[in-house]
A = this chain, B = another copy of it.
Amino acid sequence: MTDTLPTHDDVRRAAERIRPVAVVTPLIESALLNEELGGRLLIKCEMLQKTGSFKFRGAYNRISMIPEAERKKGVVAFSSGNHAQGVAAAAKLLDTPACLIMPSDAPAMKIANTRAFGGEVILYDRFKDSREEIGAKLSRERGSTLVKPYDDPGIIAGQGTIGLEIAAQAKAMGIVPDAVLAACSGGGLVTGVALGLSADLPGTTVHSVEPAGLDDMARSLASGKLERNDPAARTICDALMAPTPGDITFAVARQRVKSGFAVTDAEVKKAMAAAFRHFKVVIEPGGATTLAAVLTGKAPIKGRTVVVVASGGNVDAALFQEALAQA
């Protein structure tokens, strides 16, 4: 499995592919919050990416790597929502039919948007059905290509373009980050970011952030083998519920991700409210885990420079209001 590990060059090639269509998202900071924290905190604003999350990058890169004759047969993907939206939007731009397998309890906004991007949506029960099996079956039946959510070098390389951008933006600002934090479900984002940073910022450590009770990557990194989450574990971070790291993502993570943090739902809600207050951006629960790791002090910031990837902003209004009310 690990002979197909993605490389920094794959990330560079992905950057060439997505350049005409993806947003170079800003890296912003708040002077007041920096003062409070006694360090320098920068937010990579992936909620401003097309489809409202980083997933568009990997999806577009992966789909554009499919040979054209194959691409016409369509793509199929399973996702709690952001990958579905990314695949639907990327497939549309590449004139490819897309079928998306989504959990029936995904945020209404994510399901509606996936349909609006022209994707065909099939709903499944997150706690009873195997989305992997449904996806493989559809892929066999239709001859369409399965676009995995994370355990694929093309997906990882696409997400890695965030790392390249952080390196370039940090350089332009005269900053050398001590650490970069990225949320982790299956591991495509955090490993991609680590690969993307590796050439220009080899001394910057990269860390995963997961919901408490669903911190399979943190535990896998600590034990050196693939750990699984308790299937009974729940979180408001709907985007971060993969049961275990991918084989490819874990192989990359062991080389390039230093350690992982875990944050509670209450900590995540406070971070969403802090992002509203200090950065004027909307971060969905999964995307706010990284900010939560810093604000709780779990990831040290004092006297340091830390970049947190805010991976998406696709949250229903009711949950966002709840986060604002509790802060």
- The residues of A with any CB-CB pair to B shorter than 8 Å are 23, 25-26, 28, 31-32, 35, 45, 47-48, 50, 52, 89, 109, 113, 116-117, 273, 276-277, 279-283, 312-314, 317, 320-321, 324-325, 327
The quantity of this chain's copies bound in the complex is 2
Contact, CB under 8 Å: A320 / B31: no
Closest to A273 in B: B317
A100 CB to nearest chain B CB (Å): 15
Closest to A276 in B: B282
Given the complex, which residues of B lie within 8 Å of A25, measured CB to CB? 26
Given the complex, which residues of B lie within 8 Å of A282, measured CB to CB? 276, 280-282
Task: Give the docked Cα–Cα distance between A314 and B279 (Å).
Answer: 10
Q: Which of B23, B89, B109, B312 contacts A277 (CB 8 A)?
A: B109
Given the complex, which residues of B lie within 8 Å of A26, measured CB to CB? 23, 25-26, 48
Beyond A25-B26, A282-B281, whether A32 also contacts B317 by CB under 8 A is: no
Contact, CB under 8 Å: A31 / B273: no
Contact, CB under 8 Å: B276 / A89: no
Given the complex, which residues of B lie within 8 Å of A35, measured CB to CB? 116
Task: Give the docked Cα–Cα distance between A276 and B283 (Å).
Answer: 10
Contact, CB under 8 Å: A280 / B28: no
Contact, CB under 8 Å: A47 / B321: no
